[in-house]
Structure 1
């Protein structure tokens, strides 16, 4: 019962934060689109017809209603490709951040709890990764792994691992010095018990908040890799790849082939950032007072 009451109270507080609620609604729409793209897409996202390339959308009149947001450079429906690309982009973001969260929490907990040479060795590796710009590091990793959507998930996950490790380490350093941890040590509790039963639950809140905010950055990085031709392989619909294939459309006046995929990326990042900020306010007692 207490768990149900806590969930209800958390949801009530989240609804009071209008920005977080807006982010939750935006994210909910994207999740629905990702789960049921076949119900929403008006056309086959892979069907091409060069005779229909760069056709305008609904703004040009009823005769163009077949392609509500126009067509791209191969005559494919832009709206259908955005809808099907939602699943790909969200999947990349969630899986990449899951990888970074798992690795980062493991490294951060070990480094912050044990300290000494373990802390020095792990944090020097993290510092080396921090020395590279994120997109450059992702490109370097993919140069070793090769192009592809699965490789992009792994590369982005590794790129975001140092940030998560630093966040978890900083929280662990504070918690390990608290009195209840000293009491556990005095009672003979093992390191594994202290880490799993006392420190891990206390680092979950900041880790979840940071992970939520990181999904937005991971989607942007996935779009950047797709733009460079290192992400999803053609003809799979993916927002970054759509921008890459149609960026020359601006010079021919077919602005919709670039504008709408970019708008999809912008709204997804906006919703995740709003939700992440709201969760930070919700889970941090100092900000709720």
Structure 2
């Protein structure tokens, strides 16, 4: 009799546990599932925290740096090429040393990160808006319009993005606005092709036909019904392309066609120290290069994890 009671109690506990699991699974939202799957990778989580710290440091750079490298009144040529840990003539410690112009590298790197992140994010948002609209329209309208648009996209993608941006900046001149325009032109085709591929799959589904039968406008069907189902690959491509835009801006600045010397970005700082590499003054190029590398790698790791989480075909 005691055995039967114990068995019944165990069965009841097992049934209660199953019920609790089913209830927990039922109340699990897609956002919670996304967060839990993203947090499975400690590497991606570390990259996310690193990227967040970099963004916060860049935003609050005027409050946590001893010098404004853009203000020539605060830059002393006598502080030029000081090694890390040296004391400046203005009585503060240059923990990362200084460049040839006397700029504190710690301050210059954080201000350079502000430019890099601003250029990458701004150009990415504009390129996403253009590419998304073009790709979505091509997939929805179809026919000759789609053929014409996609041939333009193919022509754009046949040239390296660095070459396109380099030619445009060489023609337009230096400046943040010129670099952003060049990066938008170099990147919009990637988003157009990505959205067009996803939208073609969604275009043939029944909910699109049902929305059309209700008399909804084409714009509403495209942007309110089809577009939300195309956001997953767009987010992944946007993350990767942001890192690519940051690297491309640094490349242009390193080549001398990006930002002027009075507004040093990471590429300008690396270029300024390149001539001193063989003379032992490694810090002028190495520290900005490390900051650029950490930023790009962090963004790429976050993007890779987003790809794994948002792509159902990669589920383990």
**Normalised TM-score (structure 2):** 0.84
Is residue 45–residue 80 contact of structure 1 (8 Å, CA) maintained in 2? yes
The answer (yes or no) to whether the contact 1:99–1:158 under 8 Å persists in 2 is no
Which residue in the other structure is 1:177 paired with?
204
Task: Determine which of 116, 129, 136 is the counterpart of 1:109.
Answer: 136
Identify the residue that residue 44 of structure 2 maps to in structure 1.
20
Which consecutive residues of structure 2, in runs of 5 or more, have no partner in the other structure?
A: 1-25
Query: Aligned residue pairs: how many?
Result: 287
Residue number among 125, 143, 147 corresponding to 2:170 in the alignment: 143
Equivalent residue runs for 1:32-47 within 5 Å: 32-46=56-70, 47=74
Whole-Å separation in 2 of the counterparts to 1:200 and 1:206: 11
Contact 2:66 2:92 survives alignment (8 Å): no
Residue matched to 2:285: 258
Matches of 1:154 and 1:4 in 2, distance apart?
A: 43
Counterpart in the other structure of 2:275? 248
**Distance in 1 between residues matched to 2:248 and 2:63, nearest whole Å:** 28
Report the Cα distance in structure 2 between the residues aligned to 1:65 and 1:192, rounded to whole angstroms: 58
Q: Partner residue of 2:240?
A: 213
Higher Cα Rg, which structure: 2
Q: Which deviates more from structure 2 when the two are superposed, residues 87-96 or residues 111-120?
A: 111-120
Q: Deviations over 1:207-258 (max 9, x none)?
A: 1111011110000001011112222222113101111222101022110000
Do the aligned partners of 1:42 and 1:80 also contact (CA within 8 Å) in 2? yes
Q: Which residue of 1 aligns with 2:298?
A: 271
Give the TM-score normalised by structure 1. 0.92
> Looking at both structures, which has the greater relative contact order when contacts are Cα pairs under 8 Å and sequence separation is at least 6?
1
Q: How is 1:57-72 mapped onto 2 (pairs within 5 angstroms)?
A: 57-58=84-85, 66-72=93-99
Listed as ranges, the gaps of 5+ residues in structure 1 are none
- Map of 1:57-96 to 2, 5 A cutoff? 57-58=84-85, 66-96=93-123
Whether the aligned pair in 1 keeps the contact of 2:58 and 2:114 (CA below 8 Å) is yes
Q: Provide, for residues 248-275 of structure 1, a one-character-per-residue CA deviation record: whole Å limited to 9, x for no partner.
A: 0102211000001111110000100011
CA contact (8 A) 1:22 1:274 kept: no
Distance apart, 1:122 and its partner CA:
0.8
Conserved? CA contact 2:119–2:245, under 8 Å? yes
Pairing 1:287–2:304 present: no
Deviation, 1:9, is: 3.8
2: distance between equivalents of 1:119 and 1:111?
Answer: 4
Is 2:53 the counterpart of 1:29?
yes
The whole-number CA distance in structure 2 between the counterparts of 1:247 and 1:271 is 25
Displacement of 1:146: 2.2
Query: What's the RMSD between the two structures over aligned residues?
Result: 2.4
Residues 26-52 of structure 1 show CA distances to partners (whole Å, capped at 9, x for unaligned) of 110111111110232133324333323
- Whether 1:10 aligns to 2:34 is yes
User: 1:5 offset after TM fit, Å?
Assistant: 4.8
The question of whether the paired residues in 2 share the 8 Å contact of 1:227 and 1:240 is answered with yes
C-alpha distance in structure 2 between counterparts of 1:140 and 1:180, whole Å? 44
Asked whether the 8 Å contact 1:99–1:154 carries over to 2, the reply is no
In structure 1, the partner of 2:184 is 157
